[in-house]
Amino acid sequence: MDFSLSGEQRQIRDTVAEFVDEEVVPRAAEIDETDEFPADLIDEMADLGLMGMPFPVEYEGAGLDYHSYAIGLEEISRGSGGLGTVVAAHTSLAGNMIYEFGDERQKEEYLTALNTADDIGAFALSEAEAGSDVPAMSTTAERDGDGYLVNGGKLWISNGSVADTVTLFAKTDPDAGRKGISSFVVRPEEDDGFVVEGTEDKLGDKGCPTAELRFDDMWVPEDRLLGEEGEGFVHALKTLNGGRITIAARSVGIARAALDEAKSYAQQREQFDRPISDFQAIQHKLADMDTKARAAELLMHEAADLKIRDEEYIKEAAQAKLYASEISREVANEGIQIHGGYGYTKDFPAERFYRDAKLSEIYEGTSEVLRNTIAQQLLDE
């Protein structure tokens, strides 16, 4: 395995890192406090090509490979975990659904507008009674003339209240289990019956609105179906496999931010007439934090590298996301501990890193579900 980044990947990392240090880090506390979608930052990011990183230039994407995109997303998440989710839901999920499974017209029309961030994307799979158990979904899309009549609702949809393009999963054949699920492009502004019920008040991941959506006799034209009827479950799984690499990247970004902050605090905070970084107990915490973050980063790079080489990466992506999300929470926890009492307050970002890190263990496959996936792959090998 070649562990080194290519010249282009280094350049992307450095360019995004510079933008994040100048524009995102100074805004991160405010985004966390207000929980407002940072539309102006998104526009700036679109100008830099950061809202359509892995898609071809013919659709106004940045033309990067998926590995480079994950590197960019790690940097963005180092600045703000909420912004990391905004970009991941928009790109890895909504954008990728259209890029992988859309026809030429759908790509030209919907993917292009996502890549320029003229439109914001969301991916609507989960429901109140169907989270991990996707086939238990109850949203239906019934044939109606030259379109479909959609009824039901979705829960916890990242970007859901600000999205212009939503990739939606619904049952076209409710008796066919997972084979009865289809995927669609839905346009909230155009499709009557699309209702945003509200947004969640969450522990962290602020700035990325997590919405509850409802569909009341929402008519969707048939040219918005992605691929063929009945392919939706496979679309979801394939998209989430790739998405997990970028949630691993988000987790690593947050872990690195927590480590950087804790290290700098430990070097300037004095107790017993010396910096607390002189104490071996603190040094060992920093050593473990760095070791875990680096191990997670390597798993993420490996999964991303397998993906761009068109090799099997389901297990590796699940492992990268599982490990990175768990160590991200652990590293952020130690970050708070190193800050002592200050770490528990909002005077320092340590507690924000902890709240943001936690989410990665839940969405795009909980840690428990990922362990099931990994075990299944392992036993099938």
Contact positions vs ligand FAD (CB under 6 A): 89, 123-126, 131-132, 156-158, 202, 205, 210, 359, 362-363, 366, 368-369, 372
Q: Give Cα 36 distance to the centre of its chain.
A: 18
Closest residue to ligand FAD, judged by C-beta, is 131
DSSP for 287-327 reads HHHHHHHHHHHHHHHHHHHHHHTT---HHHHHHHHHHHHHH
| Least distance CB 245 / ligand FAD (angstroms) | 16
Contacts of 231 (CB under 8 A, 6+ apart): 101, 182, 183
Question: Residue 211 or residue 336: which is nearer to ligand FAD going by CB?
Answer: 211
Please confirm, yes or no, whether 364 is among the known catalytic residues: yes
Strand, helix or coil at 167? Answer: strand
| Least distance CB 208 / ligand FAD (angstroms) | 7
Question: Residue 26 or residue 135: which is nearer to ligand FAD going by CB?
Answer: 135
Instruction: Tell me the residue type at 128.
Output: A
What span, in angstroms and rounded, lies between the C-alpha atoms of 331 and 337?
10
Q: Report angle CA 315, 319, 323 to the nearest 5 degrees.
A: 175
Paired tokens of 129: 């009674």
| Least distance CB 124 / ligand FAD (angstroms) | 6
| Least distance CB 229 / ligand FAD (angstroms) | 20
Residue in 212, 229, 297, 364 annotated catalytic: 364
Question: Residue 259 or residue 327: which is nearer to ligand FAD going by CB?
Answer: 327
What span, in angstroms and rounded, lies between the C-alpha atoms of 349 and 298?
25
| Least distance CB 361 / ligand FAD (angstroms) | 9
Question: Residue 122 or residue 282: which is nearer to ligand FAD going by CB?
Answer: 122
Half-sphere exposure of 339 (CA within 13 A, CB side): 26
Half-sphere exposure of 80 (CA within 13 A, CB side): 30
Question: Residue 11 or residue 34: which is nearer to ligand FAD going by CB?
Answer: 34
Catalytic center residues = 364
